């Protein structure tokens, strides 16, 4: 019966509906903006988009659908889109704002058509011969339509905030229109007598928030042990013999039996690749021997043994293929470590802790090696983002340094502007504490010292000897920023005239020409002006980062990452939210893996580099050439919207404990 439905029938139908869908969306969004007073501020931005919206949306959607028809992944991103080695760029809060909007639109459509998408996904999985339906194998998935919508809005001169708001307005109408299309596609499957195939090819996903609720009510090892003890202490009724193939009852069991069942659940975790399961199974020998002498093993969730298993599993689960070179290298390293534990006459918690420390060091070192090619470029990119702040602080510092100095007006202005740029450029290129930056800052003091009136002939001769080097350093600084001659020559000529006066025994500045220092009125109750040392300390200090208000009100579905406690992070102005954000940022570690939604799709990536103030983070993906560099504000935005989570937050041991507690409670 499959012949009754052409392989590309569903895609062909979607292609014919692209134009009508675009026009429907154009009209419905206009109606929504006209009907809802809270959307009135968006109407001006929509006016700029409206003329070309339908054509841009239809064109992009057809492009994506045709890619799917050719068997390609329509949303597959090349290395250059993630910032390759030659084109590294930061994902800032504006990019994250777009990603939040795309995720919201896609999730709204998925929620409205979950059953239909299940059938369509299974249909394409069956066509591809895949045992389990994967979202990315569905060429009609809502993410394509969300990207087409974003493209249509981004094609017009709209700011990131306006695009974000319009995406949210269009989310519900698009979800409703797609529901009709998906329902019709399912009807086509039924008409072709394919309902049984798509129904049996995979199991319908349950409540998307079920895991989130389970995560909110995590059990503990100690709680599991107490429940077992409580159940074992109850009077037991005689029960009929169990089926020979049924698992042994969990209650009335000894500690070793509980450990065995817990370990069985760990090894049954479907997220573990076969070689990773083999490694964990080998470690079970040492774990069982440790349990005989360490009574805290089944009581302490933070026991080094479980920490080691969680860390190894979380790192291994980041890889999709068992033959990935980085995974193979890690497993080879773990062979020796596991052998050490197995061969130990009496394994101890301290021994597991030592192995854990070596595993952490190995993962950290491997991740840092991945970032070596980008570390210099990323550090310079981070410093470039601070150019404006550095410029303002340096200008303030130099203003204090030259206040009352015998400078001519041209050199005074030169130091306030051009030389500030010289110092800042040196800091951006070489680092804020680099020799080049320090040399440029010290030249200001050297220049001011050269304008002091010599006391005798010996002082004049010493000045004469210093001047060529001073002028040479000034010229070199000007050339480092390509300062044009017309901008430097007047100040240098004025300076040389002053030096000529000094060499003749005259003061650098004619007393008749000395300008009074400009008054600096202080606000009532204000502190005294900061000293140069204080300003430098401010310059070297770290910057604070605040969460933009539009992140805190975004209502994005969190079902994709159920373990992210977004309620901790998205309460606007809450001290608890700010503290939680800071704790999360402080807890970031090189080598840890994350799932994050960025640049329009979900990625699994590892932290390979952190800037000094944790304002910038470099992630390296499963493909070592996939590099994502994010600002702190972008990370905070993703976190507040449930679009990033660490792999080890949903630990393999915790999942096993939850499953066993659920079994005790009757499912």
| pTM for this prediction | 0.55
pLDDT tens track for 72-124: 878 765 444 444 434 445 677 777 778 888 888 888 888 898 888 888 888 88
- For residue 359, being part of any structural domain is answered with yes
pLDDT on residue 632:
84
- For residue 132, being part of any structural domain is answered with yes
Domain ranges, residue 600: 549-649
State whether 426 and 372 are in the same domain: no
Q: Reply yes or no on whether the pLDDT at 239 is more than 80.
A: no
Q: Are 185 and 10 in contact (CB under 8 A)?
A: yes
Higher-confidence residue: 346 or 129?
346
- For residue 394, being part of any structural domain is answered with yes
Lowest-pLDDT range of 211-225, 378-392, 457-471, 619-633: 211-225
Higher-confidence residue: 203 or 628?
628
Mean predicted confidence (pLDDT) in 605-624: 79
Torsions phi, psi for 20 (to 5 deg): -60, -40
State whether 316 and 403 are in the same domain: no
Per cent of the chain over pLDDT 70 is: 75
- For residue 96, being part of any structural domain is answered with no
Q: Reply yes or no on whether the pLDDT at 563 is more than 50.
A: no
State whether 369 and 464 are in the same domain: no
pLDDT tens track for 509-526: 877 665 544 444 444 444
Joined together, the tokens standing for residue 430 give 């070489």
Joined together, the tokens standing for residue 376 give 């210099």
Torsions phi, psi for 609 (to 5 deg): -160, 140
State whether 196 and 216 are in the same domain: no
pLDDT on residue 305:
93
DSSP-H helix ranges across 129-220: 142-154, 160-191, 195-200, 210-216
Q: What's the CATH code of the domain at 581?
A: 2.30.30.30
pLDDT band at 40 (very low <50, low <70, confident <90, very high): confident
Q: Reply yes or no on whether the pLDDT at 625 is more than 80.
A: no
- For residue 14, being part of any structural domain is answered with yes
pLDDT on residue 337:
93
DSSP codes of every residue in 104-121: HHHHHHHHHTHHHHHHHH
Mean predicted confidence (pLDDT) in 546-563: 34
State whether 198 and 283 are in the same domain: no
Number of domains in the chain: 4
State whether 174 and 264 are in the same domain: no
Joined together, the tokens standing for residue 633 give 């504000």
Mean predicted confidence (pLDDT) in 243-261: 58
- For residue 19, being part of any structural domain is answered with yes
pLDDT on residue 353:
94
Q: Reply yes or no on whether the pLDDT at 257 is more than 90.
A: no
- On the CB side of 9, how many CA atoms lie within 13 Å of its CA? 18
pLDDT on residue 479:
92
pLDDT tens track for 577-591: 788 888 888 888 888
Averaged confidence pLDDT in the chain:
78
Higher-confidence residue: 94 or 346?
346
pLDDT on residue 94:
74
State whether 321 and 467 are in the same domain: no
Cα(63)–Cα(635) distance, integer angstroms: 31
pLDDT on residue 231:
61
Secondary structure tally for the chain: helices H, strands E: 26, 6
State whether 6 and 138 are in the same domain: yes
Cα(474)–Cα(598) distance, integer angstroms: 45
pLDDT on residue 332:
93
pLDDT tens track for 289-326: 999 898 888 888 889 999 999 999 988 888 888 888 88
State whether 264 and 303 are in the same domain: yes
- For residue 178, being part of any structural domain is answered with yes
pLDDT on residue 512:
65
pLDDT tens track for 182-209: 999 888 888 877 655 555 544 444 444 4
Q: Reply yes or no on whether the pLDDT at 649 is more than 80.
A: no
State whether 391 and 487 are in the same domain: yes
pLDDT on residue 537:
46
- For residue 92, being part of any structural domain is answered with no
pLDDT on residue 195:
57
Q: Reply yes or no on whether the pLDDT at 20 is more than 90.
A: yes
pLDDT band at 59 (very low <50, low <70, confident <90, very high): very high
pLDDT tens track for 452-492: 989 889 988 999 999 999 999 999 999 998 899 989 999 99
Per cent of the chain over pLDDT 90 is: 26
Task: Count Cβ atoms below 10 Å from residue 514 Cβ, excluding itself.
Answer: 12
State whether 190 and 217 are in the same domain: no
State whether 378 and 403 are in the same domain: no
pLDDT on residue 384:
73
pLDDT on residue 345:
86
Task: Count Cβ atoms below 10 Å from residue 192 Cβ, excluding itself.
Answer: 17
Cα(607)–Cα(364) distance, integer angstroms: 9
């Amino acid at each position: 019966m499959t012949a009754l439905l052409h392989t590309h029938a569903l895609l062909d139908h979607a292609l014919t509906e692209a134009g009508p869908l675009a026009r429907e969306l154009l009209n419905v969004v206009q109606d929504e903006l006209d009907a809802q007073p809270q959307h009135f501020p968006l109407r001006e931005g929509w006016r700029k988009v409206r003329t070309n919206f339908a054509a841009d949306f239809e064109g992009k959607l057809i492009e994506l659908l045709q890619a799917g028809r050719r068997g390609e992944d329509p949303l597959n991103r090349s290395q250059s889109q993630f910032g390759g080695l030659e084109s590294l760029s930061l994902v800032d809060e504006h990019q994250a704002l777009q990603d939040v909007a795309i995720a919201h639109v896609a999730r709204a459509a998925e929620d409205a058509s979950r059953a239909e998408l299940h059938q369509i996904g299974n249909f394409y999985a069956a066509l591809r011969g895949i045992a389990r339906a994967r979202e990315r194998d569905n060429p009609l998935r809502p993410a394509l339509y969300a990207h087409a919508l974003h493209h249509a809005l981004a094609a017009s001169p709209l700011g990131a905030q306006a695009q974000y708001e319009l995406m949210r307005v269009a989310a519900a109408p698009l979800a409703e229109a797609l529901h009709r299309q998906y329902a019709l596609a399912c009807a086509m499957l039924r008409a072709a007598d394919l309902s049984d195939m798509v129904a049996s090819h995979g199991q319908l996903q349950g409540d998307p928030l079920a895991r989130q609720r389970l995560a909110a009510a995590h059990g503990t090892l100690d709680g599991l042990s107490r429940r077992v003890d409580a159940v074992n202490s109850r009077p037991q009724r005689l029960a009929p013999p169990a089926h020979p193939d049924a698992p042994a009852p969990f209650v009335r069991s000894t500690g070793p039996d509980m450990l065995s069942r817990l370990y069985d659940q760990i090894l049954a975790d479907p997220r573990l690749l076969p070689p990773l399961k083999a490694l964990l199974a080998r470690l079970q020998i040492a774990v069982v021997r440790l349990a005989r002498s360490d009574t805290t093993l089944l009581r302490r969730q933070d026991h080094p043994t479980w920490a080691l298993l969680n860390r190894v599993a979380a790192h291994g689960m980041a890889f999709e293929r068992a033959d990935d070179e980085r995974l193979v290298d890690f497993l080879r390293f773990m062979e020796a470590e596991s052998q050490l534990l197995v061969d130990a006459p009496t394994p101890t918690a301290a021994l597991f802790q030592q192995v854990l420390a070596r595993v952490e060091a190995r993962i950290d070192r491997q991740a840092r090696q991945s970032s070596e090619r980008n570390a210099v470029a990323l550090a310079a990119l981070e410093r470039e983002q601070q150019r404006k702040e550095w410029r303002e602080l340096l200008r303030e510092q130099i203003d204090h340094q030259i206040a009352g100095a015998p400078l001519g007006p041209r050199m005074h202005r030169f130091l306030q502007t051009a030389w500030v740029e010289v110092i800042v450029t040196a800091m951006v290129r070489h680092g804020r504490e680099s020799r080049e930056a320090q040399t440029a800052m010290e030249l200001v003091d050297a220049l001011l010292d050269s304008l002091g009136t010599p006391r005798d002939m010996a002082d004049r001769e010493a000045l004469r000897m210093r001047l060529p080097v001073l002028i040479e350093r000034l010229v070199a600084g000007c050339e480092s920023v390509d300062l044009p001659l017309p901008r430097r020559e007047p100040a240098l000529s004025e300076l040389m005239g002053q030096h000529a006066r000094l060499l003749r025994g005259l003061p650098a500045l004619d007393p008749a020409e000395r300008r009074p220092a400009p008054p600096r009125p202080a606000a009532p109750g204000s502190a005294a002006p900061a000293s140069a040392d204080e300003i430098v300390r401010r310059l070297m200090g770290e910057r604070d980062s605040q969460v933009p208000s539009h992140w805190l009100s975004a209502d994005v579905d969190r079902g994709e990452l159920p373990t992210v406690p977004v309620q901790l992070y998205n309460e606007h102005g809450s001290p608890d939210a700010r503290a939680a954000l800071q704790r999360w940022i402080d807890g970031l570690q090189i080598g840890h893996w994350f799932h994050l939604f960025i640049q329009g799709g979900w990625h699994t990536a590892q932290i390979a580099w952190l800037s000094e103030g944790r304002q910038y983070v470099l992630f390296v993906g499963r493909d070592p050439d996939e590099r994502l560099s994010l600002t702190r504000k972008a990370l905070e935005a993703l976190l507040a919207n449930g679009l990033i989570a660490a792999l080890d937050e949903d630990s393999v041991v915790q999942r096993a404990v939850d499953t066993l507690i659920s079994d005790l409670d009757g499912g």
